[in-house]
Amino acid sequence: MGNRLSKIVTRTGDTGTTGLGDGSRVTKDCLRIDTIGEVDELNSTLGVVLAEELPPAIRDALLSIQHDLFDLGGELCIPGYSAIGEAHILRLEALVAEFNDSLKPLKEFILPGGTRPAALAHLSRTVCRRVERRIVHLSNSESVSDFARKYVNRLSDLLFILGRALNQAGGQGDVLWVHGKNKAADTSTSGA
């Protein structure tokens, strides 16, 4: 593959513009660049999760997803180009089924937390939801593949499941939300 990144400082962005993969230049604050940046942030949060001790199957899944997200960024960088397809979505759905299979059915809402790796997976899930909103927003004005939107939707589901699986692997259960937990505390202090 040659020296694709032999020169990091190019100064071509000093005027507030950047180049897309098709050679066109856009402002750095345009919606497409913002969306690409959100995908990059999501990929970086997965890198933080991967810095933790993880079960091998989860590590392998996340590494594969990082490659997909890089491809998704490339797809967004070249209007009209498609890198994410149905096979990517089916793979995520299979991972959701695989990791969810060993988890107890949820009867309550859960809070993001528990073990550090689980909390980081939940953080990645929230960033993924933001990416999804950005892709939907971008698709309202520019061409974006339906598969891109579907991919991040399935990925956020998988990250939720992985948060639960990581708590289980760490010997901790889900952190359950308790309806009205602080209501009694709030009423006891309101008259003081």
Q: pLDDT digit string (tens) for 59-105? A: 999 999 999 999 999 999 998 899 999 999 999 999 999 999 999 99
| Mean pLDDT of all residues in 162-185 | 88
- Domain residue spans of the chain: 17-176
pLDDT greater than 60 at residue 155:
yes
pLDDT at residue 6, as a whole number:
60
CA distance 150 to 74: 17
Tokens in use for 67?
A: 């490659």
pLDDT greater than 80 at residue 176:
yes
Specify the higher pLDDT residue, 125 or 30.
125
Calculate the CA dihedral of residues 95, 99, 101, 104 and round it to 10 degrees. Answer: -140
Answering whether pTM is above 0.85, one says: yes
Kindly report each contact of residues 145-152 with a partner whose C-beta sits within 8 Å and lies 24 or more positions away, as own/partner: 145/75, 145/82, 145/84, 147/82, 147/84, 147/85, 147/86, 147/88, 147/89, 148/72, 148/75, 148/76, 148/84, 150/89, 151/68, 151/72, 151/84, 151/88, 151/89, 151/92, 152/42, 152/72, 152/128
Specify the higher pLDDT residue, 139 or 14.
139
Tokens in use for 174?
A: 């889900």
Helical spans, DSSP H, in the chain: 31-50, 56-77, 86-100, 116-139, 146-169, 183-189
Least confident of 107-111, 119-123, 154-158: 107-111
Helix (H, G, I), strand (E, B) or coil at 108: coil
pLDDT at residue 190, as a whole number:
54
Q: Which fold has domain 17-176?
A: Hypothetical Protein Ta1238; Chain: A; (1.20.1200)
pLDDT at residue 187, as a whole number:
58
| Contact assessment for residue 149 and residue 135, using Cβ atoms and an 8 Å cutoff | yes
CA distance 22 to 32: 13
Count CB-CB contacts under 10 A for residue 182.
8
Least confident of 3-17, 26-40, 79-93, 148-162: 3-17
| Contact assessment for residue 80 and residue 21, using Cβ atoms and an 8 Å cutoff | no
pLDDT at residue 101, as a whole number:
97
